[in-house]
Structure 1
Amino acid sequence: MAIIKQAARQTLGQLIGANNPAVTVPDDSQRQYAWTKKEVDTYWSDIKKFKAARDGGKDSASEYFIGPIVTITDKKVSTRSLLDGQQRLTTSTILIAAIRDALWNMGSTEGASTANNLHRDYIARKAGRREPMEYFLVLSLFDRDFFRDYIQDWNESTGRSPGIERATRPSHTLISDAYSNFTNKISAELSSCVDVEEKLDWLDSLRECLINGLVFVEIQTPTSSDANEVFETINSRGKDLSTVDLVRNFLMEKSKSDIDKQRVNDAWRTILDGFERREEIERFLRHFWVSRHGDVKSHSLYSTIRQNLSLHFNKIPQLYGVGAFSAELESASSRYIDLINCNSGDAAFDASLSEIKNLSADALYPLLLAASEKANYTQLQDLVDAAISYYVRWTVVGRRESTLLEENIFGVAKELFGGAQTDSATHQICEWIPDDETFHADFMEASTPKSSQSRYLLGKIEAHLRNMADVDEVVVSNSPIVHVEHIYPQKPGSEWRLDEHDTWVNRIGNLTLLNGRKNRPISSLPYSQKSSIYDESVLLVTSRTGTSRIWNSEMEWWRVEGIVERQRDLAELALSIWPSGKHWS
C-alpha cells in the first residue's frame, strides 16, 4: 500500500512558479515528451473554452481542473521529483513560452517587459549575474538539453532562444511541433485584434487563465516506490498508460546499483535514438517479449513483464538481473531497427523485409527477431520468404482469421528463442501455408479494398512478368509515380454503374497499375475512352494481362466475365509468386 503524505490543490503558477521548489523529472523514471498534435490540439481547445467562460464571468469557470500529478517530496518539501504529470506540465510550459514570445513580438515596451517577467516567474531565471540558471521545470536526461535550448534558455535582450541543439529524438520533434502549433494558434487569435492594446489584453487574459486558473492536485509521496505505485494506479485505466515508461520505471526500481541504473539508461538511450516514432518503441517492446515468451496482448504486456521479471530479480542468488535484461533489450532493439528499416545489408533479405513493410505484416517481426539472435540475416532467407507466402496466402488473399496465424508465428518464435533450429521453424511454417488448390480458389474470389495491399500484389505480379519477359525490373511498390487503377471505375457515372458495383469494383481482376499521377476524371470514364492508356503502358500487368476483356466493345458495356477471366490468369501467376510449402521441402 502506497504512502501518501498529502494531496494538495495547486495552480500551475504554484507548481512551477519562481517562489516554489523546482519540479524535476528524475533520470531514473518517467518518460520523454510524448504529446502529438492530437493531444496538443485538445489541450488548446480546452484552454480556449475555459478562457471564454472565465472571461464571460461564469462562476463555474473560476478554475479548470487538469488532473493529478504525483511527486516525491522530502520532509521540508524543498525538492520535488515528478513521477506523473510531465506531459501536462511540459505542454503548459511550452504554451507559456509561446505567450512570452508573442508578447515580445508585439514590438512594444510593455510587451517586452511583460514577456521578460513571464519568463522569469514561470520558466527560468538567474538569481544573480554570476549565478547558474534556475529552471522551474527540469526534464529527464533524454529531453533536458533540447527543452532548455528550445524553450527555457531565452535571451531577454533579443527575445530569442539559442537554437543550438538539434532534434535527435522523436520527443524533441514533438516539443518543437507543440511550440510551433501554439505559436500558430496564438497568431491566428491575435489577427482578429484591432490594435496592440487589444492583443496585449488578450495575451494577458490567456496568461492569467493558465497561471491562476489551471488547477492540479499534487499527490506527494515520500519514496519512489510509493510514487510508482500511485503512478501505476492512476494510469491503469487511461490512455496515458505507457508500457515503455512503466517498464523503465520498474527496472529502475529493481536496480541494485548505480551500474544497473546506468545500464538501463544506456539501453533506453539506444532505443530512443533508434526509432523515429514512439509507437514503434511500444511495438518493439511487445514484439521483443513475444519473440521470447509467445503471444501477449498489449493491454496486459506490462503486468506480464513485471510478474515474469520479478520472479528472476527476486531470486537469491540472483542469476538474471536488470543489467542482463537491459543488455538483451538493447541488442534486440538494434536488430529490430534493421528489420523495420529494411537495412540488413543483404539485398535479397532487404527486399523481403520491404515486402513485410509494404504488407504491414507486423506479426512476422517477432519471428525474425528471435531467429536473428542466433543466425545472420543471409541464413534467414527461406524463413522470411516462407513466412511471407504464409501471410499472403492465409491473410491477404484468403482473408482467414489472423489470430490463428499470429498464434502460430509467435509460437515458432518462442521455440526459436528456446533453441529450435531455423530449418525446423521454416518447415513448420511450410506446413501451415494453404496449398495451391486452396490458394487458387481464394485468389479467384479475392477483393482488396486496401490500396496498399493491392499495390503490393500487383507490384509483385509486375516484377514476375518482367522477369519472365527478361526485361528490366521496375520497382512499383510504394512508388509515388505508380497508382492502383480500377479498370471498371470506383465512381462511374450513373449511366455506367453496374448493378452489383460493390461485388466487382475491388476484385483483383479489376485492378491494375498505371504510371503517373492519377487523373480522376479519366479514371471514371468507360474503358473505350481510356483503353489507349492501358495499351501503351510500360507496366506489363496493365498492357499484357488482357484488360480489354473487361469491356464489351460491341455492347458498349462492362463485362464482369472479363474480370473473372483476368483474375483467373493472375491467380495462375500468383501460384509461382507466393509458392506453397512444397517449394521449401
Structure 2
Amino acid sequence: MASPLSAHEQPVSKIFGGDYVFEIPGFQRPYAWTVEQARDLLDDLWDAAKSKDPGEEYSPYFLGSIVLIKPENVPDCQVVDGQQRLTTITLLLSAIRANLSAEEGRDITQLIYEKGSQILGTQDRFRLALRSRDLDFFQTYVQREGGFAKLIALGEQNSDSRQNLRRNALYFDERLKEMTVAERVTLAQFMVTRCFLVVVSTPDLDSAYRIFSILNSRGLPLAPGDILKAEIVGAIEDSQRDAYTKKWEDLEESLGRDQFSELLSLIRMIYRKAKPKGTVLKEFKEHVAQAYKPKQLIDDVIVPIGEVFAELTDSAYVSSEKAEIVNEHLKWLNRLEFNDWLPPALAFAVRHRSQPKKMEIFFRDLERLAYSMLIRKSSINDRIDKFSRLTKEIESGDDLTSEKSALQLSQAEQAATYKVLSGPLYDTLAARARSAVLLRLDALMSGGGASYDYDTITVEHVLPQNPKADSKWAEWFPDAQKRIEVVHSLGNLALLTRKKNASASNWDFDRKKKAYFSKDGVSPFVLTTQVLEHNDWMPAIVEARQKQLCDKLEAHWRLQNRKAA
C-alpha cells in the first residue's frame, strides 16, 4: 500500500504555528546559506512587501516547497528538504523582533517558540530544532529573546554553520536598521500573512526522499516547456501542427532539455524586463505568449532567439569579419558565475548579428560591464535592473555608446572597479570571482590564444599569508604592515593547475617555484611564468608587477575616466 501523501500551501503563520514542530535530522548537511542567499531572500520579500498599491491587498508570495517526514495528526516532523529556507526565515524573524519594541516583538516570539508553563508543567517548544551540534547555539542566540543582540556581538565562529548564521544576522540587522519601525512591522506582517510554502509530507523516509528526488531531478517532472509546448503547438491548426511540433522539438533537442528551459526563462526576462515575481510558466504566458499568435511566437521569437542563444552560449558567432573578437568576449562572459547578461545580449544579437562591427563594440562593452559588476559584487537585483534597462535601450534603438547608456560605466563605477583591482583583491572577491578576473588578465597578458581547459585552476599567493618568522620571506618583508598591504594584492598572485597545498604555501621561494608553481620549470599561465622568472620576491618586485597588471586591466576595461570621479 502506498504511503499517505499530503501537499498543502501554508502561510508562514501556520508553518510556524502549532501544526508543525520541525527537526533537522543529523544526517542533513549544516546550515550553508551565505549572505548572498540571505540578501536575495530579504530583497525578494521587501520588494514584494512594498509593491502593493494603496487600497489593494497583498498578492500571495510563494517561498518554495519543503518536504517532510510527518505522521498524520502529529506536529513533530523531520525536514528532508527546506532546512536552509526554514532556518533563514527564523533568523530573519528573530532579527525583526530584535529591532522592534518588546511589545511589538511578542507576536514574533510566538512564531519562533511556544513558551512552556510552570503551572501546566510544560517545557518551551521551539518551532525549529537544528542538528544536535548547532541546537543549543541556535536556541540561545536566535530563538530566545535577547539572543540576537548577543549573536551580533559574537566574534568569528569556529564552524561554517555558526559563522553563516552570524554573518547573515549581521546583514539582516544592518538592513533592518536602514528601515523605519513602520517598515519593519510591514515586512513582518507581509512575511507572516502573505508568504506561503508548499508543504509536502509523508510518514516514511523512503517516500519522502523519493518525493524529494522527483522535485529536484530535472527532466523527470513536467518542465515549463512541456506545458507551453502543449498549449502553444496545440493551438495551431491540425494541418500545420506536425510541422511546428518538429520545429519546437528540433530546437529543444539541439539545445538540450536544461538549456531549452533556460532559453524560455531568458525570453521571459527579455520581455519582462524586471526581476521575476512568478514562475517561468506564468510570466512567459503573461509577458510573451499573449503578444503573439502561436505560429508567430515560434517563428519570430522562440526559434530565432534559440538559434542566437546557441551561438552566444557556445561562443560560436559566425561572420566574415570580427567573429574571432566577438567570440573571445563571449568566451569570457560565459565564464561568469551569473548569466544575467544574456537577455540584453540576445536582444542585441537577434537585431544586429549581421553587423559584425556593431557586434564587436557591443560585446566588448558588455564584457566590461559584466566584469565590473562581478568585481564590485553587485547584487542580483542590481544586475537584473541594470541589464533590464539595457534591454529596453536596445529595443528602443538608443545610442549604447552614450555615457548615459546602461551599457557604459559611470566614473563612480570605474573608480569602484579599479579600487578593488588595485587593493587586496584576493581577500575582497570570492574564489570563483577572483579566478575569473585572474584568468581574464592572464589571457590579456598572453596576447590571446591561451587555453584554460583544466580540471582545476586555483589562485595562489606568492608571498605566503603567514610566513614563518625565520624564513626568507620574513627577511624580504621585515615590515609586517607592508607585508599585510601586499599579500592579497594582484601583484602577489599566481595561477596553478592544482588544488591548494597549505604546507607548500610556506615553502621558500626557490622550492615553491620548482615544486609547486611549475612542472619541469614550466607553467601554462603567463602570470605564473612572470613569477618563475624572478630569483627573489622583494617588495619592489611585487609593487612593479602590481602596477603592470592593474595598468593592463585598466586599459582593457577602460577605467581611466575614474580619475575625474
> TM-score, normalised on structure 2?
0.49
Please say which structure displays the higher CA radius of gyration: 1
TM-score when normalising by structure 1: 0.47
